[in-house]
């Protein structure tokens, strides 16, 4: 039936969308082209979720890579389900197709990327893109294609049927992207997020090294013909000449010579409107903007482009003249929400600051009002900060942004005093405190608020679900005369040269001597937001200290997260992302944590879900993350409810697969062991005393 539905629906883009919805359950890494991360599957509910069991596990084999490459890897992929294939990529861009019901490998394609490079952002592949050619005979070679971008900046097309190259795409099935400037080293320029396809156009962004130099590769977004790979258009978010500046509305602003404002995070697509939505990053370098005066519009912005031509339809900037690395890391989420009882097509943009912007999809104008509010000033010499920044009036900020020395946190008084001294010695004026020579508190930190995992939206309840991280950075600018031109590691941070700027930059996470964040917990939260009222419906602590505290003690403090949520029609929010190794399920209505599945490695990826042959599956990649220092692995794990005759969760798993349970089991075993040792010592002492008494009696009798 699935196959016949697809064959019928080949008359154009609209029909192809029907084919997708009938034949698949998760056709894009974000669920749909607009990244709602919602599934209509409803077999798993709050009433039965505690019966979930792992039904298959696939090992990708990428842990067999050279040790240096393996250590730099991040397994952040979300698979897609298209035409009876579950398709994913490894951190090293190997594309794998699996049977959705069993996890058995159908085929794999290895593009053999350069494993000697040192990618600035680590080895990452967040997903692949799918396209059916409406002009090709249904069963012809490469009628259905899978596209991926690589860590060595190629775009590759393979046949969904067998994983072999589509030789008519580019040269031998690939297009090599040549950056406009010569790279300083192999790995400075990558493609880490999935391409997107609109009509017959494939569009890709790029991930670029930050803070090494003012002279950096450009952040050009590129489009190619989906069949031939021929270039269609290119869009540079930073204008390089007066004509480009006028076209982009940069009137009165000086033009930067270098820099990027690239699009490294996932993009979104509205096929009906023919639009692609870009989440752009900050210009280079991140922490000093004196060489790029003005707002730097189109940087740190949601930019809507005509997907056929690359022309700008509209743009909305979330941060003016960014000097905090507060780029847009989250995929723009396309949804239809209810506002004052009326349906509105919107773009919902979560940010690292914990702010949620809601924009009209046709115009980019705020649907929920945005105010320009004064922010801290007095940057370093040569800096020209924006006097105001945009703040949505609702929902309230999801992340804390102010702290005093009295609020410093720690396990012990010693910890707290050390944290208080760090906070007291830094400049701390709240959100948008400019970087300084003495060191400034950036709160939330550059990986805080909402990151690349983005959000999930339930169209039935009008609720948005989003996870945030809460920690602090201390940003210090170092005058050029006092530093060199090299990058250096620092405890919990880095010294980056920002060559070409008058300052280098030091960025360190503010931690106690025991390695605990200096700001009070929770350090990770899951939020539910009513998009009509803008009110927070509930907030739940996300994650425990089980993997980072001594002896595995699981304090319910939350942890920083990398990854995002999935919401189901069955009334559940699934999420992993934390520094303890669990896939969790929350009640979408109340925020109660209902279920945990223990993972063999860090789950720093977005889960996905689909119905296949009458059964709902929830799938997560578990492979760890370089910066979060979670356990590495190459696991793809599927969970489902047991069928008739299949075993449900075991008693052991019910006991151990909960945060903290293993701590108490270990503690109990340790007590038993100590008791056994104590009993053994007591027995030996008593036996020795008895032997001495017997020897004394025998000696007395002999005498």
User: Could you list the active site residues?
Assistant: 325
Q: How far is CA 703 from the centre of its chain?
A: 86
- Cβ 326 vs Cβ 351: under 8 Å: yes
Residues in the chain: 703
Token reading at 205: 């962004």
Q: State both tokens at 491.
A: 């405890």
Q: Nearest-5° angle of CA 603, CA 49, CA 584? A: 25
C-alpha distance from residue 5 to each of 15, 80, 177, 488, 497 (Å): 10, 19, 37, 57, 57
Residue 685 main-chain phi, psi, to 5 deg? -60, -45
Residues 6+ apart with CB under 8 A from 234: 220, 221, 222, 223, 310
Token pair 């009326």: residue: 342
Report the alpha-carbon distance of residue 560 to residue 468 in Å, rounded. 8
Cα–Cα distance, 505 to 330 (Å, whole number): 25
Task: Name 85's Cβ contacts closer than 8 Å, sequence gap at least 6.
Answer: 97, 98, 100, 106, 160
Residues 6+ apart with CB under 8 A from 300: 261, 280, 281, 282, 317, 318, 319, 320, 322, 326, 327, 328
SS3 of 362-413: CCCCECCCEEEEECCCCCCCCCCCCCEEEEECCCCCCCCCCCCHHHCCCCCH
């Amino acid at each position: 039936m699935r196959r016949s539905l697809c064959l019928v629906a080949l008359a154009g883009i609209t029909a192809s969308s029907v084919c997708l919805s009938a034949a698949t359950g998760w056709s894009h890494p974000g669920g749909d082209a607009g990244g709602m991360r919602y599934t209509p599957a409803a077999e798993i509910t709050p009433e039965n979720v505690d019966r979930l069991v792992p039904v298959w596990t696939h090992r990708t084999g990428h842990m067999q890579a050279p040790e240096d490459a393996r250590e730099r890897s991040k397994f952040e992929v979300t698979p897609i389900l298209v035409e009876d294939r579950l398709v994913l990529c490894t951190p090293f861009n190997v594309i794998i197709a699996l049977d959705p019901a069993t996890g058995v490998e159908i085929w794999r394609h290895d593009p053999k990327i350069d494993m000697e490079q040192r990618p600035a952002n680590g080895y990452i592949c967040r997903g692949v893109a799918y396209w059916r050619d409406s002009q090709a005979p249904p069963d012809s070679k490469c009628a259905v294609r899978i596209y991926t971008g690589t860590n060595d900046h190629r775009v590759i097309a393979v046949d969904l049927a067998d994983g072999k190259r589509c030789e008519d795409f580019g040269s031998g099935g690939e297009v090599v992207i040549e950056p406009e400037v010569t790279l300083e080293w192999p790995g400075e320029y990558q493609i880490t997020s999935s391409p997107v396809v609109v009509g017959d156009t494939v569009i890709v962004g790029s991930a670029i090294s930050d803070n090494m130099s003012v002279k950096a590769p450009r952040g050009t977004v590129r489009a190619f013909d989906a069949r031939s790979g021929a270039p269609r258009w290119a869009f540079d978010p930073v204008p390089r000449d007066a004509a480009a500046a006028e076209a982009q509305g940069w009137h009165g602003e000086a033009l930067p010579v270098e820099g990027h404002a690239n699009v490294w995070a996932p993009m979104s697509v509205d096929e009906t409107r023919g639009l692609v939505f870009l989440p752009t990053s900050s210009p280079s370098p991140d922490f000093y903007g004196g060489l790029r005066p003005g707002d730097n519009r189109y940087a740190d912005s949601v930019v809507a482009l005509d997907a056929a031509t690359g022309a700008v339809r509209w743009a909305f900037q979330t941060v003016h003249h960014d000097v905090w690395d507060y780029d847009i890391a989250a995929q723009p989420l396309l949804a239809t929400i209810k506002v004052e009882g009326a349906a509105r097509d919107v773009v919902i943009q979560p940010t690292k600051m914990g702010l949620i912007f809601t924009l009209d999809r046709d115009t980019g104008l705020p649907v929920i009002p945005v105010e320009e509010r004064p922010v801290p000033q007095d940057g370093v010499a040569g800096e020209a900060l924006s006097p105001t920044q945009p703040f949505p009036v609702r929902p309230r900020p999801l992340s804390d942004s102010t702290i005093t020395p009295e609020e410093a946190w720690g396990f012990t008084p010693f910890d707290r005093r050390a944290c208080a001294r760090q906070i007291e010695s830094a400049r701390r004026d709240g959100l948008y405190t400019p970087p300084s020579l003495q060191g400034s508190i950036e709160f939330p930190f550059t990986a805080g608020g909402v990151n690349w995992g983005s959000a999930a939206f339930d169209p039935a309840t009008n609720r948005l679900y989003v996870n945030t991280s809460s920690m602090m950075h201390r940003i210090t600018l170092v005058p050029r005369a006092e530093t060199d031109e090299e990058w250096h590691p620092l405890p919990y941070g880095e010294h980056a040269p920002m060559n070409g700027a008058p300052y280098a930059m030091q960025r360190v996470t503010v931690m106690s001597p025991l390695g605990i964040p200096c700001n009070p917990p929770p350090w990770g939260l899951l939020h539910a937001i009513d998009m009509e009222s803008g009110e927070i419906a509930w907030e739940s602590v996300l994650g425990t200290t089980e993997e980072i505290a001594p002896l595995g003690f699981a304090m319910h403090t939350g942890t920083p997260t990398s990854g995002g949520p999935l919401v189901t029609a069955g009334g559940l929010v699934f999420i992993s992302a934390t520094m303890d190794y669990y896939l969790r399920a929350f009640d979408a209505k109340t925020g109660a944590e209902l279920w945990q599945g223990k993972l063999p490695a860090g789950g720093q990826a977005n889960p996905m879900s689909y119905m296949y042959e009458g059964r709902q599956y929830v799938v997560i990649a578990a492979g760890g993350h370089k910066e979060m220092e979670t356990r590495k692995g190459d696991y793809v794990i599927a969970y489902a409810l047991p069928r008739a005759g299949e075993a449900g969760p075991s008693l052991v798993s019910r006991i151990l697969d909960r945060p903290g349970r293993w701590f108490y089991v270990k503690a109990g075993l340790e007590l038993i062991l100590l008791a056994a040792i104590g009993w053994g010592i007591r027995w030996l002492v008593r036996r020795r005393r008895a032997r001495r008494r017997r020897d004394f009696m025998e000696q007395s009798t002999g005498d």
